[in-house]
Copies of this chain bind each other. A is one copy, B any other.
């Protein structure tokens, strides 16, 4: 049982993926046609659809990988005894880095992730991954006494995540123009969230 089939399958998938990324990076998402990808991958156009549901999914898969790679850097030094605000900002800054480096892609990716036409497994996994990490950060801060232990962890996660989302929206608007400004704005909002906005 050599598994020629499995091997070729993997190879083809890899070829398609690689071709897509090469072309997306070179010419942008819109300017790359499925036929372009097929040609570059030396594969029939219809073959691609045996591996990916549609054009967008090829691209989402790429973003996912990149983000995973980005976020691997975190994890370990997370539970430092840094103040929560630094942990949170560091976390989101890492996420943001990818968007900053791939401006054109960011809007496609965020659109699909924030307002999916339908909830599929990929999106749900994404949610899960985000929320787990936020969850653990919030719990940790509750342990160290930085955040009220009475508060619902989920709602608090959502709170900080929403602020991140808001800054991203601002970034698209041009209200935020550099990683520094991003961190600064995010920090300001997080401080508001921590201390409240009452007098």
Question: B197–A148 contact, CB under 8 A?
Answer: yes
Binary B-proximity of A89-108 (CB < 8 A = 1, otherwise 0)? 00000000000000000110
Question: B193–A159 contact, CB under 8 A?
Answer: yes
Question: A117–B107 contact, CB under 8 A?
Answer: yes
Chain B residues, CB < 8 A from A156: 192, 197
Chain B residues, CB < 8 A from A185: 155
Q: Does A161 contact B (CB under 8 A)?
A: yes
Question: A166–B172 contact, CB under 8 A?
Answer: no
Question: A166–B170 contact, CB under 8 A?
Answer: no
Binary B-proximity of A139-167 (CB < 8 A = 1, otherwise 0)? 00000011111011001101101110111
What's the Cα separation between A147 and B192 when bound, in Å?
A: 11
Chain B residues, CB < 8 A from A169: 114-115, 162, 165
Chain B residue at minimal CB-CB distance from A163: B162
Residue of B116, B165, B188, B199 near A162 (CB, 8 A) is: B165
Question: B159–A166 contact, CB under 8 A?
Answer: yes
Q: Does A72 contact B (CB under 8 A)?
A: no
Question: B110–A174 contact, CB under 8 A?
Answer: no
Residue of B111, B146, B151, B197 near A151 (CB, 8 A) is: B197
- A interface with B by C-beta (< 8 Å): 106-107, 110-111, 114-117, 119, 127, 145-149, 151-152, 155-156, 158-159, 161-163, 165-170, 172-174, 185, 188-189, 192-199
Q: A110-B114, A119-B173, A158-B166 are in contact. List 4 more A-B contacts (CB 8 A).
A: A114-B172, A162-B165, A165-B166, A192-B193
